[in-house]
Amino acid sequence: MTAVEILSRLQALEAERFEAERIGLMRFDGYRHDLETELDGCRAAFVGAAVTEIAVLRADLGHPLLG
């Protein structure tokens, strides 16, 4: 998945969390834990994908990848 696709999923999960808070689902530990776990994983995947895409772009432009 691209960073943009992951960001879209992250935004959908954030909207789900907002709606869950609005209707009271976040008081259920299992639901809250699952949603927060998925959000954490999605955030990490987004950062990883974005960094990878930046590195690939730099490589395509011919800049050395240092650091």
Which tens digit of pLDDT belongs to each residue from 7-61?
Answer: 999 999 999 999 999 999 999 999 999 999 999 999 999 999 999 999 888 888 8
Our count of domains for the chain comes to: 1
pTM value is 0.82
Domain presence at residue 19: yes
Domain that holds residue 28: 3-60
Residue at 65 is within a domain: no
Say if 21 falls within a structural domain.
Answer: yes
Of the candidates 48, 24, 26, 22, the residue with the CA atom closest to the CA atom of residue 35: 26
Alpha helices in the chain (DSSP H): 3-23, 29-60
Q: Is residue 31 part of a domain?
A: yes
